[in-house]
Structure 1
C-alpha cells in the first residue's frame, strides 16, 4: 500500500534526507516520530499535504525558528514545545503553554499575504511581568491580558504593511485584533471576535 504522504518522484528525485524522512513515515515512525524530523529538517515537510509551518523571529531575544507545527488535524508535540519556549516571557524567561489556535491564525494570515517571517514583539506573559508592565506603561496593558493565558501574540510580518496585516487578521474573524501603528505591531488572540 502506498503511504498517502509520499510525494511522486519527479526530476530531480528527492534528496537523500527527504527520502529518509518519507521512509521513516512509511516504516512506522508515524507523525510522532516525524515530529523530531520536523525540528531537524523542516523543509523535508515541503511536499507533505496539509503540513502547516511557521517562520518566526523574536525582536527581543534575537532568536529565530522555522518549523512545521501541524499536519492536518494533528499538532506535533515537539514543535509545540519548541514554540512554547520560543514565545516565553522574554522578561522573566517563564515558559507558558501557547494556544495552537494562535499558530493557525498566523498560518492563515501568511497564506493570504505571503511575506517572510513573523516578527514577535510579545508572546506569553507571566503575571509578574504583566503587573510590572501595567505599572510602567500607563494603562496600555490589560489586567486580564490573554498573553497571560498564552492566547495572544503581538506581531509584524516582514515584507507586509502593518495595515494589511491588521486587515487580513480581521478577515479571519478568529479572535481579537488590535492595531498599534505607533508601536508598529498588530495584536491577535483567540478570544472573542473584537477589534480596537
Structure 2
C-alpha cells in the first residue's frame, strides 16, 4: 500500500475497521477453497451494476496480499461504462468499500453507480449537475458512488465514516453514498 499520510488514510484505521469485522466476515467464507483455510485476514467485494448488468463477488486480498487477477477484474468492473475506459482503482478506496460493507453486516452487494470517470464523462456530468466536482477523485480512480437497498444513506455513510479513511458524501435525495480515499471529511445530508 502506498504512503498515504497526506490523505489521512492510515493503515491502522483500515486494519481497525477490518479487525472489527473479521468475526462477521468469517462465516461468509466457510465454503471457500481449501487454500483459504487458515489464510488469516481476507477481504471481499460484492457489487453489481444496473448500467451494464454485470456482477462481481470476489475475494481480492488474502492475508496481506492483493490478488492481482481479482484486482484487475475489480478495475474492469468499475470502469467508465459510458466510454468503456478502465483505470487502475486506488486499492484504498476498495478497502474502504469492503470494510464499510462488512461493518453493516449485509449480504446484499453494493449497487455501483459510478467508479472511474473519464474526463469526458466528468465534464458531461458537470454540465448537467452542480454537484459534480471539476477535479473529481472519480477521474483518478479514487472514488465510488454506491447504494444498498437494505440500508439507508445514513447507515452506509456512518459505516464508511467509521473507517476514518477518506471522504464520505451523503446524497440522500439521490439515494447514494460517495466513498473516496482522499482527505478524511464528510458532507451532504
**TM-score with structure 1 setting the length:** 0.75
Q: String of CA shifts for 1:7-53, please: whole Å, max 9, x gaps.
A: xxxxxxx98x935xx3xxxxxxxxxxxxxxxxxxxxxx476421111
Question: Do structure 1's residue 134 and structure 2's residue 134 form an aligned pair?
Answer: no
Conserved? CA contact 1:120–1:153, under 8 Å: yes
Structure of greater Rg: 1
Question: Do structure 1's residue 18 and structure 2's residue 57 form an aligned pair?
Answer: no
CA distance in structure 2 between the partners assigned to 1:62 and 1:102 by the alignment = 22
Shift of 1:158: 4.1
Question: Do structure 1's residue 119 and structure 2's residue 111 form an aligned pair?
Answer: yes
Question: Do structure 1's residue 70 and structure 2's residue 61 form an aligned pair?
Answer: yes
Which sections of structure 1, spanning at least 5 residues, go unmatched?
1-13, 23-44
Q: Structure 2 vs 1, CA of residues 96 and 155 (structure 1 numbering), >3 Å: closer, same or farther?
A: same
Question: Which moves more between the two structures, 85-94 or 49-58?
Answer: 49-58
Question: Do structure 1's residue 86 and structure 2's residue 101 form an aligned pair?
Answer: no
Q: String of CA shifts for 1:164-191, please: whole Å, max 9, x gaps.
A: 1111111111111100011110001000
Conserved? CA contact 2:47–2:110, under 8 Å: yes
Conserved? CA contact 2:166–2:182, under 8 Å: yes
SS of 1:104's equivalent?
helix
Conserved? CA contact 1:117–1:158, under 8 Å: no
SS of 2:47's equivalent?
strand
Over the aligned positions, Cα root-mean-square deviation in angstroms equals: 1.9
Conserved? CA contact 1:165–1:186, under 8 Å: yes
CA distance in structure 1 between the partners assigned to 2:128 and 2:178 by the alignment = 19
- The structure showing larger relative contact order (alpha-carbon pairs under 8 Å, at least 6 residues apart) is 2
Following superposition, which runs of at least 4 residues in structure 1 exceed 6 angstroms of deviation?
A: none
